[in-house]
Amino acid sequence: MTGRKEYLRDYRNLDDAGNVRFGNNETCPIRGYGKITNGQFTINRVAFVEGLKHNLVSISQLVVGTGNVVTFNNQGSVITKEATNEVLLKSERKGSIFPLNLKPVTGGQSLCLLSKANSDVSWLWHRRLAHLNFKDLNKLVAMDLVRGMPALKFDNDSLCSACEHGKQTKQRHPTVDDYSRFTCVLFLRNKSDAAEEIINFIKKMELMLNKKVRTVHSDNGSEFKNQTFDGFLKTKGIGHNFSAPYTPQQNGVVERRNHSLCEAARTMLNFTNLPMYFWAEAISTACFTQNRSYIHKKFHIIPYEVLN
């Protein structure tokens, strides 16, 4: 049991989970259950006890039904897998206490989980996820980000202006949902096609998510500031906010995502020695993987799960 809710993963809140009584006859309510992990070793069904000042663990919880073996000696404790004798966790003794050296993953991950894997496997997954850095790869593994979550509110749509790359004929318009940070990219032959494509995109997203777009935030480019687009927004009752001229900082979310997509696309093309006319495909691949690999700082899950 723990008094730190932020340590728990897959937390489930319970209305009536009972109470815990301590030696001084005081009681604390159990608010719910989750699991605690450092990426390699996991303890399931950990109770969140409101007001508890220390983390407590039962030895029976570590061994019953887990296939683990716990041994104690003068130096400390060792948890091993009974079938393979693999050491899962080793902790040093402190005086007459045997603390469990299980540091929860709550922020930056110092342990390189992929360093335990074969080097070829590590680099394979690095390339599969559009050359995602190993720090974020470790977080995906440690936080076990594989399960979906219920759909959340689709607040607004932010757009950044098209950026040409070299002499490519295609232009791209990244669109980022401010709430979930989910990103889509629209490819255009000409800038004049932007209004029609964005209108179709808004209609499509509203139908798919069964949510209404409330506000669009963009710069003052002519692809956003025109009669066709303004007429559509007024008909739908959608607000349109503009950033101040020459201040891309006001579009910081989408500008940073735009840079991330470009850098990932260039890296993939350079690594595979592909010609530049695969630029659109590289951007699409980078967008797809980043939606499923970047971790939202507020919700601690990936944008795809927040949106869907």
Of 135 and 109, the structure prediction assigns the larger pLDDT to 135
Confidence of residue 158 (pLDDT cuts 50, 70, 90): very low
Same domain as 171, residue 286: yes
pLDDT of residue 297: 80
**119 pLDDT tier (thresholds 50, 70, 90):** low
pLDDT at 164 over 50: no
Greatest mean pLDDT range, 6-10, 52-56, 165-169, 176-180: 176-180
47 plus 81 within the same structural domain? yes
Q: Pick the residue with more confidence: 159 or 195? A: 195
In angstroms, the CA 282 to CA 257 distance is 15
In the prediction, which pLDDT does 171 show?
62
Q: What are phi and psi of 224, to 5 degrees?
A: -105, -30
- Same-domain status, 196 and 174: yes
Provide, rounded to the nearest whole percent, the portion of the chain with pLDDT above 90.
17
Mean pLDDT of the chain: 78
Residues in the chain: 308
**From start to end of the chain, where are the E strands?**
9-13, 19-21, 27-37, 42-49, 68-72, 76-81, 87-92, 156-159, 171-177, 183-188, 215-218, 239-242
Looking at residue 175, which CATH number applies to its domain?
3.30.420.10
Residues 75 and 209 grouped into a single domain? no
> How sure is the predictor about 109, in pLDDT bands with cuts at 50, 70 and 90?
very low
Q: Is residue 100 part of a domain?
A: no
Contact 195, 229 (CB under 8 A): yes
Q: Nearest Cα to 233, choosing from 180, 156, 291?
A: 156
Mean pLDDT, to the nearest integer, of 163-176?
53
In eight-state DSSP terms, residue 193 is G
Q: Which pTM value belongs to this model? A: 0.54
Residues 223 and 183 both lie in one domain: yes
Q: Examine residue 190 and state whether it is found in any structural domain, yes or no.
A: yes
Distance of CA 11 to the CA centre of its chain: 16
Pair 256, 290 in one domain: yes
pLDDT tens per residue, range 235-293: 999 999 998 888 888 888 888 888 999 999 999 999 889 898 899 999 999 999 999 88
Q: Is 169 a member of any domain? A: yes
Q: Are 142 and 76 in contact (CB under 8 A)?
A: no
Tokens (6 digits) for 88:
């899962």
* pLDDT range class, residue 103, cuts 50, 70, 90: low
Q: How many CA atoms lie within 13 Å of 186's alpha carbon, on the beta-carbon side?
A: 24
77 with 30, same domain: the answer is: yes
Most confidently modeled range among 93-97, 173-177, 204-208, 301-305: 204-208
Measured over the CA atoms of residue 137, residue 141, residue 144 and residue 146, the dihedral's sign is: positive
Looking at residue 142, its pLDDT comes to: 66
Q: Are 77 and 91 in contact (CB under 8 A)?
A: yes
Q: Number of C-alpha atoms within 13 angstroms, CB side, residue 85?
A: 0
Cross-strand pairs, 42: 37
- Which tens digits make up the pLDDT trace of 201-211? 999 989 988 88
Q: pLDDT, tens digit, for every residue of 68-81? A: 888 888 888 888 88
Let me know if residue 61 belongs to a domain: yes
Which bin fits 201, alpha (ψ -120 to 50), beta or left (φ > 0)? alpha
Strand partners, 186: 173
The CA angle 163-168-170, to the nearest 5 degrees, is 65
Q: What is the mean pLDDT of residues 15-42?
A: 81
Q: Are 157 and 232 in contact (CB under 8 A)?
A: no
If DSSP states are collapsed to H, E and C, what string results for 255-288? HHHHHHHHHHHHHHHHHHCCCHHHHHHHHHHHHH
**247 within domain boundaries:** yes
76 and 127 both lie in a single domain: no
In a domain, 239, yes or no: yes
Supply the pLDDT for residue 39: 66
Same domain, yes or no: 217 and 302: yes
Does residue 47 belong to any structural domain of this protein? yes
The answer to whether residues 138 and 114 touch, using CB atoms and an 8 Å cutoff, is yes
Residues 248, 208, single domain; the answer is yes
Whether 57 and 66 have beta carbons less than 8 Å apart is answered as no
Are 224 and 286 in the same domain? yes
Interaxial angle between packed helices 279-291 and 252-272, expressed in degrees from 0 to 180 and rounded to the nearest 10: 120
Strand 156-159 and strand 19-21: the pairing is: unpaired
Helical residues (DSSP H) of 68-189, grouped into ranges: 119-128, 134-142
- 58 and 161: one domain? no
Structural domain containing residue 77 = 5-92
Q: What total of structural domains would you count in the chain?
A: 3
Q: What is the pLDDT of residue 145?
A: 66
The more confident residue out of 225 and 66 is 225
Asked if residue 102 belongs to a domain, the reply is: no
Lookup: tokens for 265: 């696309």
